Amino acid sequence: MAEGINQRKTEHIRLCLSENVEGVNKTTGLEGISFLHNALPEINFADIELCTSFLNKQLNAPFLVSSMTGGSELATTINQNLALAAEEKRWAVALGSTRALLESSAHEDSFLIRKQAPTVPLIANLGVVQLNYGYGADEARRIVEMTEADSLVLHFNTLQEAVQDGGDLNFENLLPKIEQVTSSLDVPVGAKEVGFGIDGEVAEKLYNAGISYIDVAGAGGTSWSQVEKLRSQDPLKRAAAEAFNNWGLPTKECLVSVRGRLPDVPLVASGGMKTGVDAAKALTIGADVVGFARQLLQAATESAEAVVKVMDQIELELKMAMFGIGAKNLEELKNTRRVSIMGRSLMDDNS
């Protein structure tokens, strides 16, 4: 079992690095948002602040290294480089699914990255469907303890499991089991999709079950049905997966929907985030933190220094966007009226 998980993780990395695994004709929806340039920002670029807090720890920027991988030799290199870079830049960092950590001691260094990232928020990860396959609060607690994580995030990946050879498909009656986990752990428990999105209705159910924050992980980036299609040895599943190559809720729609239902719950925007300008748009419509994954992956195979360079560019892009509208901190960015959404300018909205 563990050997199969480890091989699958390596194949996931290889495919995400070498193949086109994004959905077809599916975007984040953020292209429908544009900023209204301010020729007189009345601020000093050097004074722009990106600082925020997440999971009761300070971040130098509102960014998260999203869950990607673990449980293989290549994943060890990637996660350690990501952790070192996250610590240097003070970004939060999330692990890939940690089930392999409980099922095998092989490549445990790919998950035990607290020594590389001793002070930033660290998030462990478990597929929520495993709560129907023998996992519960005790196993979740062991994962948190072993990784020294500040939080556990449950990931929701129905379509990935449906396409995956041997996928786990019993998603029945999970809410009470989620509630048992959230009430039993001493750390916050979050919920995230894997690229198909969480809407407001689902987010509200999860919040009522004790979930502390939502990572919408919307469509517009990596499509895990496409990744699993490329892995599958089942011609029927490969053919069926083609019908879902544009499936999912765009990241923008997820953010608007969840924020409308849960105005005060910490909200992570991920799914197709490529630039600091994407991040600025997501923050403007409700996100508190923005997650980047595949944008960092190639650099993470090289070195921590390479990852830092990508992070530097993302931070600079966010600052430039804020400078362009005259927002000197994240609060001003979130409350800006210098934005047009689907052609409607908030500058002209007197309501």
User: Is 52:80 a contact under the CB 8 Å cutoff?
Assistant: no
Say which residues have a Cβ less than 8 Å from residue 337's Cβ, sequence separation at least 6.
Answer: 346, 347, 349
Q: What are the sequence ranges of the domains in the chain?
A: 2-348
| CATH match of 2-348 with 3.20.20.70 | yes
Say which residues have a Cβ less than 8 Å from residue 123's Cβ, sequence separation at least 6.
Answer: 55, 64, 67, 92, 93, 94, 95, 149, 150, 151, 152, 153, 190
Helices (H), 19-72: none
User: Is 294:271 a contact under the CB 8 Å cutoff?
Assistant: no
pTM of the model: 0.94
3-state secondary structure of 10: helix
Distance of CA 49 to the CA centre of its chain: 23
- Per-residue pLDDT of the chain (351 residues), as tens digits, is 454 666 776 787 777 777 777 777 789 999 999 999 999 999 999 999 999 999 999 999 999 999 988 888 889 999 999 999 999 999 999 999 899 899 888 889 999 999 999 999 999 999 999 999 999 999 999 999 999 999 999 999 999 999 999 999 999 999 999 999 999 999 999 999 999 999 999 999 999 999 999 999 999 988 777 788 888 899 999 999 889 988 999 999 999 999 999 999 999 999 999 999 999 999 999 999 999 999 999 999 999 999 999 999 999 999 999 999 999 999 999 999 999 988 788 777 654
